A and B are shown apart, each in its own frame.
Chain A
Amino acid sequence: KAGVTQTPRYLIKTRGQQVTLSCSPISGHRSVSWYQQTPGQGLQFLFEYFSETQRNKGNFPGRFSGRQFSNSRSEMNVSTLELGDSALYLCASTNPGQGSGYTFGSGTRLTVV
């Protein structure tokens, strides 16, 4: 059974540019969540999508957005990149339910220069 696949693995972008990251969840998982991981803040929740609808949202500015397609694949977009956006972006999928464990992808390492 394939795991959660994130592409690309590494990205280098310049301040002011925008970037799109992709996530393919485990087959049958309809919930996809995105997290930002930095050494200083740890794992911070960005948003969750279920059945193509954003169901939960973390405390991030509007420059961070996402979407989910009918096949549950998800993308997140960051516009007007800032140096502070440099981080590991993790996607996780799950079957919705109370306390269901997440399966994470290996992440996309974004560096903004």
Chain B
Amino acid sequence: QKEVEQDPGPLSVPEGAIVSLNCTYSNSAFQYFMWYRQYSRKGPELLMYTYSSGNKEDGRFTAQVDKSSKYISLFIRDSQPSDSATYLCAMSETGGSYIPTFGRGTSLIVHP
């Protein structure tokens, strides 16, 4: 079992839909949680960054962390075709190696 599990998709939704992307993890030492977006032929770019449990909102994006369930989510409201990309979750420990462990990424397609 990988430390971080993420459904590769693809996830196809119509424009305007609410998108839910998720990751589960097994390492209870993870304290920092990140979401990256990667467009084709580009490197990943940091979208959201949260510490420990709770919610964080940034525009149309909301990141949720449930440490008790070892489950994190990224919600995209009013999805746009420009949101079509691969979304990778990443997480790192505190007090130990801070090198993040990445999920394999979920491919999202938002069609007009």
Contacts and interface: CB of A to CB of B under 8 A. Distances in A.
Interface in A1-30: 4, 6
A100 interface: yes
B31 A99 contact: yes
Best-buried of A6, A101, A106 by chain B (most CB within 10 Å): A101
Interface residues of B, number: 24
A90 B42 CA distance: 10
B43 A107 contact: yes
Given A42-B102, A42-B104, A98-B98, A103 B46 contact: yes
Given A99-B31, A99-B32, A104 B99 contact: no
Interface in B90-112: 92, 94, 97-105
B50 to A, nearest CB: 9
A102 interface: yes
B51 interface: yes
Given A99-B92, A101-B49, A104-B43, A43 B32 contact: no
A56 B43 contact: no
Interface of B: 31-32, 34, 36, 41-46, 49, 51, 88, 92, 94, 97-105
Interface of A: 4, 6, 33, 35, 41-43, 45, 48, 56, 90, 92, 96-107
